[in-house]
Structure 1
């Protein structure tokens, strides 16, 4: 073997060894990330099998707006923002405080929310209906009374149309805004005027199985609905609000996750409307700093974890098996 051939062979071996190390690191980081979000010690989301199984297509394809938005890492900011938006409404706030395990098992509650979002986005229609039934059963236990911003005492059930609507638009607007601010994949607009309108319209089907009958179908309608609730004086800042917000600000996360979470929290704060930040008692860090830092860290996380997505892969395999994709 000549010198050049030997050096080339050595370069190949070094490259292969480096790739193996990088793949091992990506797999380790990916497993830790999935373990944190799913609560599964092996990092395998327990709903992966639900999404991969089934003999029918779901509500969405990979080219649809909800699939694109919810597959992106901008959802990490959107999820935090959605919790802050929900905390503004005393009905949803009281339901979370009195009927959820957000303090005793915050990651478990997070996993439950992620399960509904993920199954509804990527699962078969049969899986979506089963998941909606699970959520509806949980909702039957969530009842009580809350005080509006105008001081009126109102009895509530989790299945009330106004509460379902607020939770829906809080999630929908938050994921949309977070994607626009911090993600990079364009939102498909389909036959709608914009990608945002397409997302709002397409995602409307997600709440029909939960019993919500009338929802915004465009971005303008969604924004108007949010402001209607605000101007009606229904939103409030109370001691309970501040307590929940402080918990969202400082959840009991593993040490290495805290600096990244702190950045994502600040990203969620800067994306809120000023009047909502004020109600929540939050101050925004400089936008010129937080936005590029957040976009950079989300890109880094995507690169570090790797391009593979077991959830998307499972959904696509099912879609191909049932003939919905070629």
Structure 2
């Protein structure tokens, strides 16, 4: 498939992910600057898992998982403009992830401090899984931790769903490395192994910190059918189905979702998702501008 044929798709994808159809955002080019290699080097598991195309699916899974915490969900519903400007919110999340993954330490710390400042105004009340009213603040350790472990679980799970399982030591290395992002966002003791990650997620459920309900149903409905360009909608539906297919039975139960099937026959979602991401990768290129800029910085600094 030639790049000329894919150019309309590339423009729509760039507009969706970065807010501009042509050129590279200035913040991505600025990742070439800086005085150190950053928290994660090119051979790290963080670059491997957070790079490539699988984070597109991972982002969908992360949003679904985050919505299971009523406090996190209340902050999104009450304070964000995700319905009016979903692509703007997506672009902001992508900027944070890539700034922490590929930036020098100052850039990573600035990106996290900026998000935490935005979260200072995100306060309110919600009803927890036991039906008890509670107050929340987005920077609370409990909410920050759930957002962090939801990202970690979703990105690692999506990578392994599409690319195949990592060796246990490599999967543990990713969780341990990405714990630094959690610390920068105010998480006191983020999980540092897959076992610890699974155990912590189960503890949230056991303590009734997670719940479904009408608000979750509303957000899930929006995530199923976001206002995307018609050219992107078929691929998104496949990636949404893949995100659902990759999740645990318990989380799907709370979300009111089911794996795609025809009667009792499970449909081949994984190969379709792999093909979709392959086309996206062909359109956008194997190395994104954030990674390319970071590689230029590392080369300039002579970091081995």
Q: Take 1:308 and 1:146, find their aligned partners in 2: how far apart are those partners? A: 42
Q: Which has the higher contact order (CA 8 A, sep 6+)?
A: 2
* Stretches of structure 2 lacking an aligned partner (at least 5 in a row): none
Whether 1:249 aligns to 2:228 is no
Task: State the partner residue of 2:141.
Answer: 161
Change (3 A) 1:148 1:35: same
1:324 partnered with 2:299: no
- The CA deviation at 1:308 is 3.8
Cα distance in 1 for residues equivalent to 2:18 and 2:159 = 21
Per the normalisation by structure 1, the TM-score is 0.87
Distance (whole Å) between structure 2 residues aligned to residue 216 and residue 45 of structure 1: 33
Looking at structure 1, the residues matched to 2 and 74 of structure 2 have their Cα atoms a distance apart, in angstroms, of: 46
Residue 180 of structure 1 aligns to a residue whose secondary structure is helix
Write the deviation string for residues 135-178 of structure 1: whole angstroms up to 9, x where unpaired. Answer: 01101010011111101111111111111110000010000000
Taking the aligned partners of 1:237 and 1:164, their CA distance within structure 2 comes to 19
- Distance in 1 between the 2:26 and 2:75 partners? 26
**Which stretches of structure 1, 4 residues or longer, exceed 6 Å deviation after superposition?**
none
Structure 1: tracts of 5 or more residues without a match? 1-20
Residues in 1 aligned to 2:126 and 2:285: alpha-carbon distance in whole angstroms: 45
Q: Which has the larger radius of gyration?
A: 1
Distance in 1 separating the partners of 2:3 and 2:272: 25
Q: TM-score, normalised by structure 2?
A: 0.93
Is the alpha carbon distance of 1:153 and 1:46 closer, same or farther for their aligned partners in structure 2, counting shifts above 3 Å? farther
Distance 1:305-1:128 versus aligned 2 partners, 3 A rule: closer
Listed one character per residue, the Cα deviations across residues 231-272 of structure 1 (whole Å, up to 9, x for unaligned) are 111211121111111111111000010000000000011111
Q: Assess, with a 3 A threshold, how the Cα gap between structure 1 residues 23 and 297 changes in structure 2: closer, same or farther.
A: closer
**RMSD, aligned CA:** 1.7
Q: 1:74 maps to what in 2?
A: 54
Give the corresponding residue for 1:229: 204
1:6 alignment partner in structure 2: none
User: Which residue of the partner structure matches residue 162 of structure 2?
Assistant: 182
Q: Which residue of 1 aligns with 2:24?
A: 44
Q: Distance in 1 between matches of 2:14 and 2:233?
A: 16
Matches within 5 A, 1:90-109: 90-109=70-89
